[in-house]
Structure 1
Amino acid sequence: MIKVVIVDDEPKLRQGLQTLIPWESLGFTVTATAANGKEALEVIQEKSPDVVIVDIRMPVMDGLQLIEHLRSDGHHLHFMILSGYADFEYAKQAIKYGVCGYLLKPVDIGEMSASLKQIRERIEEERLQREWRKKEVINRDLYLHSLLVSQEKTEDPTKLRSKAIEADLLWPHYEVVIVYPRVSEVDRSDVAYQLSNGLKATIEGQMMGLVTVIPPYTVLLLNEPLRGRQRRETLYNEIRNAADKVRFAAATGGGVTAPEDICKSFLKAQEAVKRSFFSEKNRLLDPYPFFSPSLASPGLSVDKAEETMEEFIFRLYYSLEVGNQNVILPLLNEVAAFFLQQGQDEKSIKESFFFLSNAIIHKLTAGFCIELKETEEVSRFLNGIYQHDHLDDLLEETYRFLLALAKDSEPRGKEQEFKKMIDFIHKHYADNLRLEALAGLLNYSTAYLGQLFKNKTGEYFNTYLDRVRIHKAKELLDQGMKVYEVAESVGYTSVNYFYSKFKRYEGCSPSEYRNP
């Protein structure tokens, strides 16, 4: 049934039209009436009719004002005008608003029924046209999808070309651009369709190509290659405007000239999007990356990779501990380069940075209780590692957070640095401490730091470290620990070597010290 709203300020006329016109037999149903234009606006908004029968002269808002208001708001309605003889010239103005009929009062039932039949035929024709257009769009999308995802090497190019002709897609050039919404998996498909609707006006409206959706991507099939930086930037900005505040990655698969190669451009665009984590921000990505994890050198063994990771943790932690901020970001870049050389993908790199950051945080916060607020910040940072869209952002945020968390990270001259180094030795005597490593962390040459240490303490670095270890060993022996346990606890991997060191500094063996 076609829905009708009657708008007239005369109650008798409204009632008469409802009862005298054979609405149902004509294919219509009266869903509501209104006494003036303003009242009609609310009714039309609620009932969404197909036809509005409206009087010309009414209080508050007349018929022409109502029609003008509805047209300007984008309502596609069919209007029938009612007026008296005196309003004939006035009613002619309604022609510019596309009214379907004009009847004089008093209304003739036969004349009005004939006009309604004409309106019904027009509405049915429009509905049929919409259905055909809808089917055309669906069919076109089916053909387009078959061209995009066709991966059968044996498929006849002639058959693919026939598909392109049927879908009116036989163009001289093609280039596929895809947009990947960086939202939750649950929302990704809906957002892809929203992006598609937002981009249709630009791409299809300007005859640049077609827009469709192959979840999780919004897909643009352009009919000209994207030559030049300016065209790429313009298209990227159009995508950004359509996306509004939604984070996304966009990539091109490069230009092709044959319908059977459209699928190749689509695949290359997908590969480029998958590498977006390693690419520059805020630009349309190319199918030819400056670096890809798949091009990395063969990975190290598990043991060697773990050893290298421990070394990075050691260097980063020691640098933060002694306040050498200048080496932190270069070290993080070195870490990222190592992960890339090992062929790690986005997910693996984020997991590795989580492990590395967590280990350093535990070392930095060991020995003192951090407040709840700081605990929440640590948790937020660690969880946020997985939310970064680009490696550069991940490195920058890791750098910022570690510096903020490190205690006394600002260097205060050589005396302060030397004091930190002494404190560091007393805290980490059990580690594999080397003068060369400390010199690198403090940006000194090994020879200079060794001489500075000798001048300040009166002993060489290794001698000082041995004395700290032996002093701690005596405490542990006094507590009843076994000799081999003590040796390992204070940093000696060889028990025999520990024996010789202990006897050298104490004049007796560890056993003799414990049992005089």
Structure 2
Amino acid sequence: MIKVVIVDDEPKLRLGLQTLIPWKELGFEVIAAAANGEEALKVMEQERPDMAIVDIRMPLMDGLQLLECMSSCGYKLHVIILSGYADFEYAKQAIKYGVAGYLLKPVDTREMTQMLQGIREQIEEQQRQYEEDRITTADRDWLLQRLLVPRNIGEDAAALHSTARAAGIVWDSYEIVALLPKGAEDDGSGKVHSFRESLKSRIEHTGRGTVTVYFPYVVLFLQNPLRGRKQQAELYQLLHNTLGSCHFIAATGGAVSTVEEISRSFLHAQSSLKHAFFSKKGQLLRHNASRCPLPDNPYAQDSSPEEIMEELILQLYYSLDTGNQSMVRPLLENGLSFFLAQQYDERYIKESFFHLINAIVHKLTNGFPATRRETEQISQFMKGIFAYEHLEDLLDETHSFLLALAQHAEPEGKEKELKIMIHIIHRHYSDPLRLETLAGMLNYSTAYLGQIFKNKTGEYFNTYLDKVRIQKAKELLQQGMKVYEVSEQVGYTSVNYFHGKFKKYEGCSPSDFKNP
């Protein structure tokens, strides 16, 4: 049976066409009906119909827009256009998309029946021709695929050259380009073969080379090597123009001069695709191409990933909490530089981002509970972290997301750094604050920042922090809290250490202060 989808925004017309036309007797089966072009595209992606009956005027996406999307995505359907008298000039534009027929509303069932019979004969003839060509195409695909498989050392080179001759690709040079459609692994072979058919006319009919499928890849055998980035960019643009809005990534394995080296070029292209996350988007990927440029790793070589992550979380948190937005991007890039230097893979990088965002959101929302809408936005962003296809997109979107979480404006004036430090101390005195952490956040050396603080406040950083903690401790002791509880609350993990600090600044023990 020839599968048909009916696309019309009028429910009565959709139902009428399904019931008044003797579809089964004519060799057709109506598999779905859609109210607009957007619904129709979803049906086509899932059901792969052979034919569509499309109304010209529809909401959301009209008939012409649907035909344009079908063409750009490589759908090869027989289409009958339906329209009113007033739409005739509009409907004539559909001719450029090669529609199979045109009918005026209200539809005459006899006229449509005759048109369907003619279309069925065309489809049957095409199927007969396809069956005649299929064996030859399948054999050639099999030969090309054999050349992509690595050979054992010492394997008969003559047999390999014989395979190349049978496939019709005895050339002076070769270059393999592998193309991976988005979602190809989940979609089965449908999308891959659709891509192959769309590219055939642009590659084979122009003498550039030949195209085959090595699932989940569409593979281009190019006869002339791509010389330089200009030709690589031109090929990528050709692929983009041919495939339209369909998402893909593509990589070249580089030029080789012998049949024996074809498999190596393919392996290089595969490797580049597997590491596409770390490459620049919107271009043909190249083997051993440099990753996205980032600053040098600023962290100590002996620091563990856990220590770096904790430091990064604190620095980003303090930056957001104080409104120091200018430091968010550099801090993210510093963290990435460390993880890339450790040769961590895509999954680990994404897991690190997830942990980073989760920790920062938790800290921020402890002080300022998020609204329901904000909670949904946070949840949506975190779920999408693992869906990013390129590192630069993940970095950009994370930067924007974190800035949106900032609760305070950035301090102004010459005292900005001092204001930030004092704010952090008074707000986060219970945390394990270190001058080194704040220096990294503010992009100063530890010694220089410490001197700025001393000049402005008259106190060393640690002395100032101790005094803030002791002042808060006095308030908690007066509220009746126990000494060891107060010690923990104000950031001292050792009660004895807290006792010594308290006596140094207040001249008595915490117990004596509590019970004079």
Q: TM-score, normalised by structure 1?
A: 0.70
Q: CA deviation at 1:364?
A: 2.2
Query: Counterparts of 1:213-362 in structure 2 under 5 Å?
Result: 213-291=213-291, 304-362=304-362
How far apart are 1:203 and its partner, in Å?
0.7
- C-alpha change, 1:142 and 1:379, in structure 2 (3 Å) is same
The runs of 5 or more residues in structure 2 that have no matched partner are 1-24, 28-101
Aligned partners of 1:515 and 1:184: how far apart in 2?
Answer: 73
The alpha carbon displacement at 1:407 in A equals 1.1
1:113-128 equivalences in 2 (<5 Å): none
Cα–Cα, structure 1 residues 76 and 510, in superposed 2: closer, same or farther, change >3 Å? closer
| Distance of aligned partners of 1:184 and 1:259 in 2 relative to their CA distance in 1, 3 Å threshold | closer
8 Å CA contact 1:183–1:246 kept in 2: the answer is no
> Quick check: 2:213–2:219 contact (8 Å CA) kept in 1?
yes
What pairs with 1:380-419 in structure 2 (closer than 5 Å)?
Answer: 380-414=380-414, 418-419=418-419
Q: Decide whether the 8 Å contact of 1:322 with 1:417 is kept in 2.
A: no
Instruction: Name the residue aligned to 1:133.
Output: 133
1:321, 1:127 → 2: CA distance? 66
Q: Which residue of 1 aligns with 2:429?
A: 429
Distance 1:30 1:216 in 2: 37
Query: Counterparts of 1:350 and 1:30 in 2: how far apart (Å)?
Result: 54
Report the CA distance between 1:440 and its aligned residue.
5.0
Partner SS for 2:254: strand
How far residue 497 of structure 1 moved from its aligned partner, in angstroms, is: 2.2
Structure 1 match to 2:456: 452
| Structure 1 residue 480 displacement after superposition | 6.0
Establish whether residue 165 from structure 1 lines up as the match of residue 154 from structure 2: no
Give per-residue Cα distances to partners, 1:434-464, cap 9 Å, x unaligned: 345435544663212321123xxxx544333
Aligned residue number for residue 491 of structure 2: 491
- Structure 1 Cα separation of the partners of residues 111 and 158 of structure 2: 56
CA distance in 2, matches of 1:129, 1:182: 31
Q: CA deviation at 1:306?
A: 0.4
Three-state SS of the structure 2 residue aligned to 1:175 is: strand
Q: Indicate whether 1:178 and 2:178 are aligned.
A: yes
Task: Output the amino acid matched with 1:404.
Answer: A
SS in 1 for 2:286: coil
Which range moved further: 419-428 or 473-482? Answer: 473-482
Residues 102-127 of structure 1 show CA distances to partners (whole Å, capped at 9, x for unaligned) of: xxxxxxxxxxxxxxxxxxxxx8xx99
- How big is the alpha-carbon RMSD for the aligned residues of Structure 1 and Structure 2? 3.4
Q: 1:176 to 1:424 in 2, by over 3 A?
A: same
Aligned to 1:45: 115
Contact 1:313 1:356 in 2 (8 A): yes
SS of 1:413's partner is coil
1:334/1:300 CA distance change after superposition, 3 Å: closer
Cα-to-partner distance string for 1:340-370 (whole Å, 9 max, x where unaligned): 1111111211111111122112222222222
Partner amino acid, structure 2, of 1:42:
M
SS at match of 2:407: coil
Deviation at 1:387, TM superposition (A): 2.3
Q: Report the 3-state secondary structure (helix = DSSP H, G, I; strand = E; otherwise coil) of the residue aligned with 1:246.
A: coil
Query: Does residue 369 of the first structure (1) align with residue 369 of the second (2)?
Result: yes
Q: Which moved more, 1:358-367 or 1:299-308?
A: 299-308
State the alpha-carbon separation in 1 of the partners of residues 508 and 26 from structure 2.
Answer: 112
Amino acid at match of 1:201: S
Structure 1 Cα separation of the partners of residues 404 and 153 of structure 2: 56
Report the equivalent of 1:4.
Answer: none
Structure 1 residues not aligned, in runs of 5+: 1-28, 32-36, 52-74, 78-122
Overall identity of the aligned pairs, in % = 48
The count of corresponding residues between Structure 1 and Structure 2 is: 406
Question: C-alpha separation between the residues in 2 aligned to 1:231 and 1:460?
Answer: 61
* Deviations 1:240-262 (CA, angstroms, capped at 9, x unpaired): 12322122110011112222221
Range that drifts further, 366-375 or 463-472? 463-472
Q: Is the 8 A contact 2:411 2:420 kept in 1?
A: no
Structure 2 Cα separation of the partners of residues 513 and 50 of structure 1: 98
Whether the aligned pair in 1 keeps the contact of 2:472 and 2:490 (CA below 8 Å) is yes
Q: Residue by residue, what CA displacement relative to the aligned partner does 1:223-250 show, whole Å, maximum 9, x if unpaired?
A: 2211133322221112112322122110
Match of residue 85 from structure 1: none
2:143 partner SS: helix
Q: In 2 relative to 1, CA 441–135 (structure 1 residues): closer, same or farther, beyond 3 Å? A: closer
Contact 2:453/2:460 (<8 A) preserved: no
Distance in 2 of aligned mates of 1:184 and 1:460: 60
Q: What displacement does 1:426 show?
A: 2.0
Q: Which residue of 1 aligns with 2:508?
A: 508
CA shift in 2, pair 1:131/1:424, >3 Å: closer
**CA drift at 1:157:** 1.6
Distance 2:395 2:482 in 1: 45
> Could you tell me whether the CA contact under 8 Å between 2:315 and 2:438 is conserved in 1?
no
Partner of residue 18, structure 1: none
1:137-194 deviations in Å (ceiling 9; x for gaps): 1100111111112444453222211222222232222111011122374226322221
Contact 2:320–2:405 (CA under 8 A) maintained in structure 1: no
Letter in 2 for 1:326: S
CA contact (8 A) 1:300 1:342 kept: no
Asked if structure 2 preserves the Cα contact closer than 8 Å seen for 1:320 and 1:409, the reply is no
Hey, what's the Cα distance between the residues in 2 that align with 1:131 and 1:436? 73
The alignment partner of 2:253 has SS state of strand
Task: Tell me if the contact between 2:280 and 2:291 (Cα under 8 Å) persists in the aligned partners.
Answer: no
**Residue 205 of structure 1: CA displacement?**
1.0
Structure-1 separation of matches of 2:123 and 2:184: 37
Alignment of 1:65-104 (within 5 A): none
| Contact 1:175–1:224, Cα closer than 8 Å, also in 2 | yes
Alpha-carbon contact 2:184-2:216 (below 8 Å) kept: no
Deviates further, 415-424 or 146-155: 415-424
Q: Distance between the aligned counterparts of 1:451 and 1:493, measured in 2?
A: 30
**Mapped partners of 2:26, 2:405: distance in 1:** 72
Distance in 2, matches of 1:315 and 1:353, equals: 15
CA gap of 1:319–1:128, structure 2 versus 1, over 3 A, is: closer
Distance 2:369 2:227 in 1: 58
Pair 1:466–1:286, CA change in 2 (3 A): same
* Local SS of the residue matching 2:242: helix
Q: TM-score w.r.t. structure 2 length? A: 0.70
